[in-house]
Amino acid sequence: MGFLVPAFLAGLAALGIPLLMHLRDRNEETPTRFPSLMFLVRLPIRTSDRRKVTDWPLLLLRALAVALLVFAFSRPFVGNTAEMTADSRAQRVVIALDRSLSMGHGDTWAAAQDSARAVLDALGGDDQVALVLFDEEATIAQTWTRDRASVRALIEATRPVARGTGFGAALRVARSALISAPAGAPSITLITDLQRSGLTGVAGLELPAGLPLRTIVVGGDTRPNTSLRSVEARRVVSGERVQLQVQARVVTRDLAAGRPVTLSLRLAGRDAGTRTATLPASGELTVAFDAVPAPATVVDGVVSISGDALAADDTLRFTLPADDALTVLLVAADEVPREETLYFERALGIGRAPAVRVERRRPGTVDAAALSRAALVVFWDAAPPTGAAAAALGTWQANGGGVAVIVGPRLAERRSVVANVATPTGLADRRTAGGALLGEIRDEHPLFAPFRSTQAALVAPRFYRYARLDPAVGADVLARFDDGSPAILESRAGEGRTLLIALSPDARESDFPLQPAFLPLMRRVVLHGAGHESTPLWRRTGESWVPQAIRQDPVIAAPDGDLLRPGAGAGASRAAVILEQVGVYGAYEGRVEGAPRDRVAVNVGPAESDLTPADPTELLLGVGESTDSTFRGVTAATSIELESRQRLWRWLLAFVALLLLAETVIASQGWRGRARRATIVSPERSQA
């Protein structure tokens, strides 16, 4: 038990007041006028001793009310005195040190280390410290210790890493460190350049109520920087040659004036070109390199600019996949004229990455040999085969092959189930009504990814005749005509998929082949149906990567030479690896020998190059106060905090009011002790 204002305990001296009141004689005789008493016998009367307390319950009731009133004004609380004493002299400080890429700008890192050392020097002998290092993620580098030398050594050995900034992760790990903190006064000291892009993830965070959070901002008021934001590389066809076209986008911020720079391109470890440009003080500029012959294999490239105060974002690596063309088997009957499939074949022949090669075949000629080199089989207004050919097609599709069926007038007239996906029920003729439009589109589906920002392109084509389809159980409708009839359906078959398309690519049945949406949608049908995933030129640090073309026992070679085995011991061939380093990762199967089966280039996200600082008050805008009991008792509370939580004085005052009410009732009923009177008979009266 403790008291916030112990000086009020001197008021306990007021306990003597009720005692004096009870000892004082209140039975005063009232004189009564009477005639002469000479004829009356004198009887001496002795009253009881008024120096004795005659009403103990009432006295104790009044004394208790006075004592509780004194205690209420002294503000009592319940707590461990030893812990409260330690709390007033021992600190428990979590130092959260930012080591993200942006901390390498100029002398920012040196200033951060000096600030961390100053925090250590200000601690007392009984104070303890924990060190948290953070970038996109955070880790406790040093648990609670009084050893300043070990913490100082860790700070000296730490360097900025090629990762982004995440203040949410830093504060969450610092909060978890406080859970295991010894008794003392807790606080968090955040040492950072307070990059605004790092505020993502802070919203929703809760910290213990009243926890001190000190932010030490390092870095200059202006932070000029030039960075490579992105690179585009693609193969282009020029006559009979395939060339590689590379262009880079450079961003500048807060430069004093325009800056001349030299950009260089390296492909497969060799110089492939340079460019000079004058960058604006703030803005961006796209620089294109001269086209060079493009190899058919995977291309590793690096674009770099002349360095500045933050050299880590002056280089951008990329990996261009091999020109692995997809082979599409177009199965069409002899009665199908070339003009009917002309627009479809030409649409697939345009573009690269990947290139699409169309091989036309008659029904009944699709065998295992032809399927082994194909990624997709398109049945043009023809049903898939039956018998032995169907078994070979089913096995191939179960292993990842794709099937697309263009449902036209021929299949619509047969009215038999097609590929177990849907049954045509006839032909809709909308020529007199001006044609049908697409009315419902599953825009979240990967098939429509190119149209998420331009959905109007998909509702522009008009379809004059199309097959009405009755979907089978389990078929997924991806698009419908404006009358509700399915336009595109999808069904899974093992690792592969089957697409049924009622959108006629024939210019005689619709104006779809003449619309801008025709080319990108037909290419998406081929890529999605074949299960071909577009490979980005590079990924960000912190992302996960699943190597392709690895059947079992994947081995990942990291940029620093370390070998990683994702899913080791589990037999998983699709295990993901977290990309933690900048550079090129290579994936092998079983052993690291020869060329990697797959590779990926990794860079730091472009947001880390934006050095714009935030105001310290913005850091806690989305942070709430935790009411979780986990944080109660993490550290000993001060006497003021304990008293403010408990508020015992309110209960004492309420009890005093009840006591005074009881005292009033008891006293008014006359239950106080009265003086006892004794009559003494004189000897003369007794003789008579």
Q: Residue 203's CB: how many other CB atoms inside 10 A?
A: 11
Q: According to the model, what pLDDT value does residue 659 have? A: 82
Is residue 151 within 8 A of residue 131, CB to CB? The reply is yes
Q: According to the model, what pLDDT value does residue 494 have? A: 81
Please state the rounded mean pLDDT for residues 666-686.
52
Angle at 606 between CA 600 and CA 609, to 5 degrees: 130
The yes-or-no verdict on residue 614 having pLDDT over 70 is yes
CA 157 to chain centre: 29
- The 3-state DSSP class for residue 44 equals coil
* Minimum mean pLDDT range among 135-149, 301-315, 458-472, 638-652: 638-652
Please state the rounded mean pLDDT for residues 367-386.
88
Q: Would you give the DSSP letter of residue 613?
A: B
Residues 154-184 have pLDDT tens digits of 999 999 998 999 999 999 999 999 888 887 8
Q: How far apart, in whole angstroms, are the C-alpha atoms of residue 64 and residue 531?
A: 86
Please provide residue 521's backbone torsions phi and psi, each rounded to the nearest 5 degrees.
Answer: -70, -40
CA-only gyration radius of the chain, Å? 44
The β-bridge relationship of strands 496-501 and 402-406 is: parallel
* Minimum mean pLDDT range among 139-148, 259-268, 449-458, 472-481: 449-458
Among 584, 531, 578, CA closest to 557: 584
Please state the rounded mean pLDDT for residues 457-461.
88
Angle between helices 338-349 and 518-529 (to 10 degrees): 80
- Residue 354: cis peptide before it, omega within 30 degrees of 0: yes
Confidence of residue 658 (pLDDT cuts 50, 70, 90): confident
Report yes or no on whether pTM surpasses 0.75. no
The segment(s) of the chain belonging to CATH 3.40.50.880 are 326-529
Please state the rounded mean pLDDT for residues 441-469.
87
**What does each C-alpha distance from 99 to 113, 136, 614 come to in angstroms?**
10, 9, 17
Confidence of residue 13 (pLDDT cuts 50, 70, 90): confident
- The 3-state DSSP class for residue 559 equals coil
Largest CA distance in the chain: 162
Please state the rounded mean pLDDT for residues 320-326.
78
Residue with the larger pLDDT of the pair 642 and 229: 229
CATH architecture of 326-529: 3-Layer(aba) Sandwich (3.40)
Q: How far apart, in whole angstroms, are the C-alpha atoms of residue 252 and residue 440?
A: 44
The segment(s) of the chain belonging to CATH 2.60.40.10 are 239-320
* Minimum mean pLDDT range among 32-36, 64-68, 200-204, 270-274: 32-36
Residue with the larger pLDDT of the pair 549 and 368: 368
The yes-or-no verdict on residue 26 having pLDDT over 70 is no
Please state the rounded mean pLDDT for residues 210-230.
90
Please state the rounded mean pLDDT for residues 61-70.
82
Please state the rounded mean pLDDT for residues 8-29.
69
The yes-or-no verdict on residue 688 having pLDDT over 70 is no
Residue with the larger pLDDT of the pair 676 and 220: 220
* Minimum mean pLDDT range among 47-56, 392-401, 402-411: 47-56
Exposed e or buried b for every residue in 217-247, given b needs 16+ CB within 10 A?
bbbbeebbbbbbbbbebebeeeeeebebbbb
CATH assignment, 239-320:
2.60.40.10
The yes-or-no verdict on residue 282 having pLDDT over 80 is yes
Confidence of residue 377 (pLDDT cuts 50, 70, 90): very high
Is residue 526 within 8 A of residue 348, CB to CB? The reply is yes
The segment(s) of the chain belonging to CATH 3.40.50.410 are 89-222
pLDDT > 90: what percent of the chain? 36
pLDDT > 70: what percent of the chain? 86
Q: According to the model, what pLDDT value does residue 485 have? A: 93
Confidence of residue 53 (pLDDT cuts 50, 70, 90): low
- Mean pLDDT rounded to a whole number for the chain: 83
Q: Would you give the DSSP letter of residue 510?
A: B
Task: Say how many residues make up the chain.
Answer: 688
The yes-or-no verdict on residue 88 having pLDDT over 80 is no
Q: According to the model, what pLDDT value does residue 685 have? A: 47
The yes-or-no verdict on residue 632 having pLDDT over 70 is no
Does domain 89-222 fall under CATH 3.40.50.300? My reply is no
Is residue 103 within 8 A of residue 67, CB to CB? The reply is no
Q: According to the model, what pLDDT value does residue 249 have? A: 94
Q: According to the model, what pLDDT value does residue 51 have? A: 55
Confidence of residue 119 (pLDDT cuts 50, 70, 90): very high
Please state the rounded mean pLDDT for residues 441-448.
87
Residues 517-529 have pLDDT tens digits of 898 899 889 988 8
Q: How far apart, in whole angstroms, are the C-alpha atoms of residue 406 and residue 500?
A: 6
The yes-or-no verdict on residue 477 having pLDDT over 50 is yes
